[in-house]
Chains A and B, each alone.
Chain A
Amino acid sequence: MSKLAQLAERAPELRVPARLGALDDIARYVLALAGRARLDGNTAYRLRLAVDEITTNVVMHGYRGGPGEIVLRGGCDADRVWVRIEDGAPPFDPRDGRLDPAPDVPIEQRRVGGLGVHLALISVDEFSYAYLDGRNISMLAVRTGPGPSTVGESGRL
């Protein structure tokens, strides 16, 4: 198998119930993918954080705590590692719930819902969303080359 073909190999699919108790399995799946792709620790952390936040969002706001399923598929291309998150909840673009930090607002008055989506979006290099055939599909990717690693540069985590 060529190196590129190996890189393009997909991780097995992960199907989990839409419950917060599944976050552990989701983290293991993403970290295993990151390990296979030999992502550095910081990039692996960012990808895990983004997937965690988006799937938490699906559980809490997509299915609203009701029953459902989340399907993860991941893989590596030559220059990026991606995770596709699919669910059958009503149409819900995670970006609609984004709340950027408001550091000038006193902490006592802070709204914190939506911060997770903000964290997810600044943690990955690519994000897209589509509603196709009754399914919400979010696609997240990080580049495998050296990338920004500090807050303040494009707001990237």
Chain B
Amino acid sequence: MPLSVSLSVDGDISVIELIGELDAHTAPEFHESIEKAAAHGTAIVEIRMHEVAYMASAGLRSLVFAQQKVVDGVTIRVVGASEPVSRTIRTAGLDRSIVLADE
């Protein structure tokens, strides 16, 4: 299933909305949006994952890339991740530096 990625800026928040599945084939699109979001220089980068039904390690790589790309003090927030997706994030220990939020 393809991945649809949209990026918008709402005040001091860059919002990346993902719809579809995040695997090694689709993750490069997510990567591109992270680079653009980091360039906006907002205090928060919010990644909305309500409609992401599946995420492989390629998605983890993208989240690490996001954290490495933004400047110190910028918060990366993953919102609405499904149970298996947030479980994968926690398994990799990324929840220590990335905020996982329900809404």
Residues of A within 8 A of B (CB): 20-21, 23-24, 27, 42, 45, 48-49, 52-53, 56, 59-60, 101-104, 106-108, 110, 112, 115-116, 119, 122, 150-151, 157
Contacts and interface: CB of A to CB of B under 8 A. Distances in A.
Given A23-B25, A157-B87, A157-B88, A56 B93 contact: no
B58 A56 contact: yes
B96 A56 contact: no
Contacts of A151: 87, 90-91
12 contacts: A20-B23, A21-B25, A23-B23, A52-B56, A103-B92, A103-B96, A107-B98, A112-B61, A116-B56, A116-B58, A119-B88, A151-B90
Interface residues of B, number: 25
A124 B63 CA distance: 24
Query: Which label, helix, strand, loop or mixed, suits the secondary structure of the A interface?
Result: helix
Query: Which label, helix, strand, loop or mixed, suits the secondary structure of the B interface?
Result: helix
Contact of A122 (B24, B91, B94): B91
A116 B84 CA distance: 15
B74 interface: no
A45 B24 contact: no
Contacts, number: 77
B60 A56 contact: no
Interface string B41-80: 0000000000000101110110010011000000000000
Contacts of A48: 54
A102 B25 contact: no
B84 A45 contact: yes
A115 B96 contact: no
B52 to A, nearest CB: 12
> What 10 A-B pairs have minimum CB-CB distances, sorted nearest first?
A103-B93, A116-B57, A20-B25, A107-B97, A56-B24, A107-B67, A101-B93, A115-B57, A112-B61, A101-B92
B68 A108 contact: yes
Contacts of B54: 27, 45, 48-49
